[in-house]
Amino acid sequence: MNFPRTLTRYVLTETLVYTGLGVLALGAILIGQNLLRQLLDLVPLGVTAGDAAAVTVDLALMMAGYVLPVGLLFGTLAGLGRLASDREILAMRALGVGRSMLLIPLLPAALLVAAGTAVLLDEAQPLGRRHIRAVVAGLASSGGFIQAAGFTDLDRGGHRTIFADKREGRILEGVLLSDRSDAARPFVVAAERGEFKLDSESGLAALILERGDVHFEGEPGEKGSQRIAFRRLNYEIDLSSMIGGGVERYTAPDFTTSEIRDILHHFDEQGEAPEEMRVRERGPYEREIARRSALPGAAVVLVLLAIPLATRVSSSARSVGLMLCIGLSVLYYASLSAATVLIAQTDTPARVAMWAPNLVFGLAALGLWLRRDVPR
């Protein structure tokens, strides 16, 4: 029997089972929360089941870069913790298997997760964000949120409402529009026909109404109202609150890593951002590329930290592993958030600040590995 190979397979199997459970549980939580938030924005735009499914896939790809390192951390803590609580780690030591032997199966797994995380952050996450924006743009530009034979609010406050007898694509028939955004001068528009158009870059829409009347209610204390007939009327609708601002003007997280490098190269050559960029400062692009370079390291440093912690567990392995996983994950990602704030408020280089959590957690792991009172 090849003992090292058998041990590797045994430890890896035990760890991967819990890793899978951790990935599924954490992924369901993160995707569910983000999907609910997205649907709250998309439902007023007339989202379909197909659109919801596409957004769910996009969110899964976007969240995977955060879920995989934490899932492997939980798998390492819970898997090795279970072996330690059942005295199997003690039995391995009695057979001359040191704790460093656990690196044989777990370090390659951590490196593989780190590589996968890097790919997800470089490509899948920004492309997922852009696809969600495209879904939003498609829904908004079609005017599908305006339902036929029903009243539709055009803002979150319900101050502007539209009714249409019929709708075929962007064309509306029998339009009745109520605008009470200005309490001092509310009015109602009735038109035979209307066409919906959206500027997806700015989030501003225009409802081009034909052959109708505008009825202004009388001033407070006055009687009667004012009626103005029109042949053509452009009514502007600000949908930015419903679609999260312009949907085609990307920020730094929306670009792939290669695109960000091109933008930074343009800064180096021209001293400013490309003309079409929404974000004109260099800092956000440097922070984003530094974040993507540092975050994959979480898989490695967290596993190196988890091995000595897990092998000290004496009982309640799964519950202890879960608590340690939550604590370490919160500390790590909170430190990344603190690094982002530090970069924004000081002159600290982005790469130095973003890599600091990896360095701190790596030193903590080294300290645990070197402790003499922990069996090696």
Which among 195, 218, 238 is the end of a domain? 238
Among candidate residues 149, 189, 143, 145, the one with its CA nearest the CA of residue 165: 149
Residues 129 and 160 grouped into a single domain: no
Residues 183 and 312 grouped into a single domain: no
Please check whether residue 148 lies inside any domain of the structure.
no
Please check whether residue 93 lies inside any domain of the structure.
yes
CA distance 282 to 285: 6
Residues 135 and 182 grouped into a single domain: no
Residues 22 and 114 grouped into a single domain: yes
Q: Which residues pair with 173 in a beta bridge?
A: 166, 193
Please check whether residue 202 lies inside any domain of the structure.
yes
In this prediction, residue 189 carries a pLDDT of 92
CA distance 112 to 299: 9
Please check whether residue 271 lies inside any domain of the structure.
no
Please check whether residue 265 lies inside any domain of the structure.
no
Please check whether residue 40 lies inside any domain of the structure.
yes
Which among 212, 238, 264 is the end of a domain? 238
Residues 8 and 135 grouped into a single domain: yes
Please check whether residue 150 lies inside any domain of the structure.
no
Which residue range is the domain that position 225 belongs to? 155-238
Name 211's Cβ contacts closer than 8 Å, sequence gap at least 6: 191, 192, 193, 230, 231
CA distance 320 to 301: 19
Q: How many domains, the chain?
A: 2
In this prediction, residue 166 carries a pLDDT of 87
In this prediction, residue 112 carries a pLDDT of 95
User: Coil, strand, or helix at residue 244?
Assistant: coil
Q: Which residues pair with 151 in a beta bridge?
A: 163
- pLDDT, tens digit (0-9, with 9 covering 90-100), for 174-205: 999 999 888 888 899 999 998 888 766 656 77
Burial class (CB in 10 A: 0-12, 13-18, 19+), 7: middle
Does an H or E element contain 44, and which? none
Residues 135 and 15 grouped into a single domain: yes
Residues 92 and 10 grouped into a single domain: yes
Per-residue pLDDT of the chain (376 residues; tens, 9 = 90+): 455 667 677 778 888 888 998 899 888 988 888 888 877 777 766 777 888 888 899 999 889 989 999 999 988 888 887 777 767 666 776 666 667 778 888 899 999 999 999 999 999 999 998 888 878 777 766 666 777 778 888 777 778 888 988 888 788 899 999 998 888 888 999 999 988 887 666 567 788 899 999 988 765 555 557 888 999 998 887 766 555 544 456 788 889 999 999 999 999 988 888 887 878 888 889 999 999 999 999 999 999 998 888 877 555 555 666 788 888 888 998 998 888 888 878 888 888 999 999 999 999 999 988 875 444 4
Residues 41 and 129 grouped into a single domain: yes
Residues 19 and 130 grouped into a single domain: yes
Please check whether residue 245 lies inside any domain of the structure.
no
Tell me, letter by letter, the H, E, C secondary structure of 296-361. Answer: CHHHHHHHHHHHHHHCCCCCCHHHHHHHHHHHHHHHHHHHHHHHHHHHHHCCCCHHHHHHHHHHHH
Which among 218, 238, 258 is the end of a domain? 238
Residues 161 and 226 grouped into a single domain: yes
CA distance 35 to 375: 45
SS percent in the chain: helix, strand, coil, step 5 = 60, 15, 20
Residues 93 and 201 grouped into a single domain: no
Residues 126 and 25 grouped into a single domain: yes
